[in-house]
Every structure is written in C-alpha cells, then in structure tokens.
Amino acid sequence: MTSSQPAGWTAAELAQAAARGQLDLHYQPLVDLRDHRIAGAEALMRWRHPRLGLLPPGQFLPLA
C-alpha cells in the first residue's frame, strides 16, 4: 500500500469496481514538439469511485 492509497483498500474492492463498470479508460495524446503532430497516445485508467469521485491511477493501481 502506498501513502496515496486510502487504508483498507483491497484488490477485491478494485475487482468489484471493474465488475460494476466503475473503471474508465482515458487516452492522452503524445505530441511531437518538433512538428506538433500526434505521435501516439497514453492510456490512463480512472476509477469513478462512488464516494471519492474520480481517482487517478496512482491511488489504486498498486492494488492490481
């Protein structure tokens, strides 16, 4: 568990979130600064937590 992860969270809770459709995949473009073209994309998972709102991956991916 990391300091940014609330105490008591378990991998089972993360699995339940996935089963409930609470995990969203967001794409962030990677831009080549030389010609300002999109060079790729980074995929980032977000958890739409019912009590805590939208959580960034650093708060729950250590459970995975």
Per-residue model confidence as pLDDT tens digits over 4-48: 566 567 889 999 999 999 999 999 999 999 999 999 999 999 999
* Interacting residues of 6 by C-beta distance below 8 A, sequence separation 6+: 52, 59
Question: Which pLDDT band, with edges at 50, 70 and 90, does 1 fall under?
Answer: very low
Residue corresponding to tokens 């992860």: 5
* Whether pLDDT at 2 is above 70: no
pLDDT reported for residue 4? 58
pLDDT reported for residue 5? 60
Inter-residue contact 47 to 54 (CB < 8 Å):
yes
pLDDT reported for residue 32? 97
Could you state, in order of their start, the residue ranges of all structural domains in the chain?
11-63
Residues of the chain by 3-state class (helix, strand, coil), percent to 5: 25, 40, 35
